[in-house]
Structures are given as structure tokens and as C-alpha cells.
Amino acid sequence: MTNFHDTWRLGDLTVNRLGLGAMRLTGMPWDERPKSREDAITVLRRAIELGVNHIDTASFYFTPRRSANELIATALQPYPEDLVLTTKVGAGRSRDGEFSFARPDQLRGQVEENIRQLGLDHLDVVNLRWGAAMGKEPGSVADHFGALAELREAGLIRHLGISNVVADQLTEALSIAPVVCVQNRYGLTDREDDALLDLCGELGVAFVPFFAVTTSIPGAAPGAVRGEAEVAKVAAAHDATSAQIRLAWTLHRGAHVLAIPGTGDPGHLAENVAAGGLRLSEEELALLDGVGRG
């Protein structure tokens, strides 16, 4: 069963606009106790049943007890024919959780690691994750993106994307190889990339926000606590949760905007998927836009 009908094409791959982010499957550092492996596998299998065919993951999504890629491979192999697995390279993590960023000559190893963990012979979509752990960084992406373009030509990658970038970096990447998606932090009260979102629409590139519904993690999405009353008002009108309204607002930003909310909870998964069927009125959108731009 599916509660959403809109699709978008990542190159030659068609995905439903509401997908699943895999980061929370393994649990987060602030969780009181480790996530249940059984719940994670249930979430993945239930997502497929609900019509999700786009899952965002990475080899650096892991805890000492869990790996998102391993959970995906265990739960979903043999993979459905229409399932698109998007991963990212450039960033990496040591076993103690410290982030590092790869040189261009190290990207092939990261790509091959994702291929092994997911049990594939190539990756559907690979994003170059640029910049610092949270913030963006200036500079040329040419050497790194060029290295991924070579791996695409070699058949290890089907399509390329780019993450945590500014407009000039997207333009530079497009001069090297086709870009099917941009994955940046963005949400109702985190609107720094409004112009980049619009540019992606003009170029026919998917814009894929992360942290689109984050409201409870200090510093994860600046300004996220604004607009609680307005969001709650719209939610009440639709018998929905505030998170569902934030997701619905995200999808209303453009036909090229995809959503990849993460969860390790089967109940939250069902709520997220249902948000794809919410249709907000012009008045509701105007109210929410006022919050976001405030």
C-alpha cells in the first residue's frame, strides 16, 4: 500500500518522492539504550510494503553494535527491482566515531566498501559528501567529483549526486558529469538553501533535504523550535503530527524535492509515509512560509 503518488526520476531511475533515511536505523548517540535490531529490520521491510523505493544510506552510518548497510542487506536481499539505494562517500568515520574526509584517491575504496556491505555489483546513486561534519565549506569539488565520474565510467556507479554544497559547487560538478541530486540540510525553519532548491528545480536536479523534520536535537537544525504554534494549528486541521506537517511542507516546495525522513520505529515510519498524502492549502502554506522566513 502506498499513501503517496508523486514520483521523480534520478537519471533513469524512478523513485517515490517520500523515501527513507537509514541513519536512525542503527540508533543515535543520544539514545538511552541501543536500538532493537529486530525493529530496524521490521522498519526496512515495512517500508517496502508501504511503497518506499528510495533508501538513503552510507557506510559511516554505524554504531558499535549496528551498521545501516548491513541491516539493509540483511532485511531486503534479494532487493526489489525498483528499489534505489543512494549512498554517500567523501566522509568517513573511525571506530571511535571521529569523522574524516577522504582524498580523491581514497574514494574508490569507499565506493567499493559500500558495494561489499550492500551486496551489490554497483551503486545506484552516490553523493559526494563535501565539507565539514555540519557546516558547508568553500572550495573546488573538481578533483573529488572527477574521481567519482571516473568510477561512474568504470561501471561502479550508475548516477552521481553531491551533498552539503553551495550553488557554485553544484555548477562546477555539472561541468564534469551529470548530477541527479543535491542533498543538503533544509527544512521549514532552516531556509538557507531556498535559492539552491529553486536552482535545482530549474536544472531538473532533485533536491533531497536532510534534517527536514528535526526539532528536538539542539543545534542539529538551527531555528527548528520556531513556529511550533503555527505548525500545530495546521497539524490539528489535518489530524496529523507536527512532524508530518513539516514533511508535507517539504514536499510542497517543488516536484523535484524528495524527502528521506529517518526512523528506527515502525510507528513513526507509517506516520512519515502517510505524510506524503497530505495536501496543504494555499493559506496553510502561506502561514508556514511566514514562519520559515521569520
Residue in 267, 222, 226, 220 with CA at minimum distance from that of residue 244:
267
**Contact at 8 Å (CB) between 6 and 278?**
no
Q: Of 61, 145, 186, 207, which one is the catalytic site residue?
A: 61
Sign of the dihedral through C-alpha 37, 38, 39, 43 = positive
Q: Are 101 and 91 in contact (CB under 8 A)?
A: yes
Distance from C-alpha of 196 to C-alpha of 186, rounded to nearest angstrom: 10
> CB-hemisphere CA count at 13 Å for 105?
0
Burial class (CB in 10 A: 0-12, 13-18, 19+), 284: buried
Q: Is 61 a catalytic residue?
A: yes
- CA nearest neighbour of 130 among 159, 167, 175: 167
Between the alpha carbon of residue 32 and those of residues 154, 247, 256, the distances in Å are 44, 26, 37
Q: Which residues are catalytic?
A: 61
